[in-house]
Structure 1
């Protein structure tokens, strides 16, 4: 299968749309032609569908003449090996962030309860759930590290 038959990705379609927008801003395309080409670009399934949308515009590289770059999949954070020092710090940092959010929400609740003259429903308790979860995770991680 040649390049023309290969599926175009979102980034390929967006790159062509960006180049068309530049051509519109420069006055090289009128609004109707820009709209028609952008619709074709976003509707493109293959590189062949993108061909011809930029051919008559100066300073653009048509998709079929551009160099293909291999896709490098992002690694999931759990798959990346982490040193022992970083593991504990990450769990502590997450716990501290969640605890800070809980304390800020509790402060907001206290101010609104005080200004209204009576205690409001303690909604920060819902924010406490992630604090407990991250605290347990940080605690168990510290226990594993100690072994």
Structure 2
């Protein structure tokens, strides 16, 4: 039976996984990949992985015992950290502009940056405190 492009892509992903796990070398991977895209039937595709164990591409690889990888971070969602960073940058720029204008004019100017950072900061604070936190998948 003839294989489709999706079937070839699936076998290519399996070959990439075996290469990443060290079962086949890069040269073998390149040779098999070349044969893969010339294959027309399921039988030809099966021959490319016949000497390799089955791989579940959905399963995550097990961590090595005693590995030096850091523990997963607990804390704020990366998007929320980005939002706080944008708020801090915009607030800082506005305060610098206010300070320059105040110093060069010689008069105390109303601190208008409070109106920029205040409402935005309150919304971010409420989102951080009462938000749903990182989603687990």
TM-score over 0.5 (shorter chain): no
